[in-house]
Amino acid sequence: MSEDIAWLSTAAAAKRLGVTTRTLYRFVDEGELPAYRFGRVIRLKESDVDAFIDNCRIQPGTLEHLYPEAADSKN
């Protein structure tokens, strides 16, 4: 019943997220994205990266602060 874990390098995980490796390391360091150290190598579970992507999804109606002039014209 044990499933093989699909591991990603930091470069592959950063590419999948569309960010730099420096940004990826910040996500890891701030506890937003789990990572694992095997000796001198850092790896991320593909499933954790996919879950991180899903958790970053923007909910409709949460970006009004980015275009306040459009919200003001409604009133």
For 17-52, how does the pLDDT look when each residue is reduced to its tens digit (9 = 90+)? Answer: 999 999 999 999 999 999 999 999 999 999 999 999
pLDDT confidence of residue 70 = 58
- Residue 36 corresponds to which tokens in the numbers above? 């694992």
Give the CATH fold of the 1-56 domain.
Arc Repressor Mutant, subunit A (1.10.10)
Q: With bands split at pLDDT 50, 70 and 90, how would you rate the model's confidence at 72?
A: low
Residue 13 burial by Cβ neighbours in a 10 Å radius (0-12, 13-18, 19+): buried
Q: Please give the model's pTM, rounded to 2 decimal places.
A: 0.79
Phi, psi angles (nearest 5°) of residue 18: 75, 30
- Nearest one of 21, 3, 23, 4 to 12, comparing CA atoms: 21
Domain locations along the chain: 1-56
